[in-house]
A and B are shown apart, each in its own frame.
Chain A
Amino acid sequence: METLRITRVEGTALPMRGDDIDTDRIMPARFLRAVTFDGLEQHLFEDERTGSVAGDRAGAPHPFDNPRYESASILIVNRNFGCGSSREHAPQGLHRRGIRAVVGESFSEIFFGNSLMIGLPCATASPADVRELMDRVERNPGARVRLDLQAGTCEVDDFRCAVSIPASARDALITGAWDTTGLLLERYGEVDAVAAKLPYVSGF
């Protein structure tokens, strides 16, 4: 059982511009045709990276193809990132590529939850701050970005902004309690007691 405490993430960043980036784009469905998550990092945004889709910024290299972002550990995104399908394969692919935190304007609920389950924090910042973070990273891809979940801040160079993450998710991450199965199994007698009181479980 892992009890990795996740309080701070520091590293270079990768800006992925665009609102409503859905999990079909992040991880096309054909790569879900496997019984493990192994190798998913090779297929992130594959359909747009191969050049078969113009993408949001036609002509420019896809951020996930851009060698300047190759070692990035923080992904910076815009609004409603990870919407659509509940496939955990999307955050699994990002995590396996080395992404250890995502900072964005907002996240889909299921993506946020799936990410939390694998210890990948998704923190939100204001649109203006996200724009500033993206601009700075695009100008200087080698810049160190520092995300501090406890302090609720994200810093790059001399720029510092507030980020937020729901208190329960933050506490789960910083105490290492984000891998929930053990917690849920802890007091199983109480689960049985709740189930026994439900009329549909007892057969009405």
Chain B
Amino acid sequence: MILGKVIGNVVSTVKAKGYESKKILIVQPVDAGGNAKGKSFLAIDAVQAGVGDTVIIIEEGNSARDVIKEKESYTIKTVIAGIVDEVNLQ
């Protein structure tokens, strides 16, 4: 899992099987201090996250499907699995 910040959303009507009625957000990976690091990508939202939220992102198919829990979701790989309230650094 990685930390990321939601920076936008995507509207899409024509989708592949398994993606119907799923919210798609644009996420920017961040480091421990919350600074942008690396390239942005898209993720399916499973926790009602919104723009500005720091989130936990899973980029692995089997775990992602475990989160979505739908029969047709076998084409989904990237999901937002949690909203981060705070990060405590020692």
- Do A and B belong to a common assembly? no
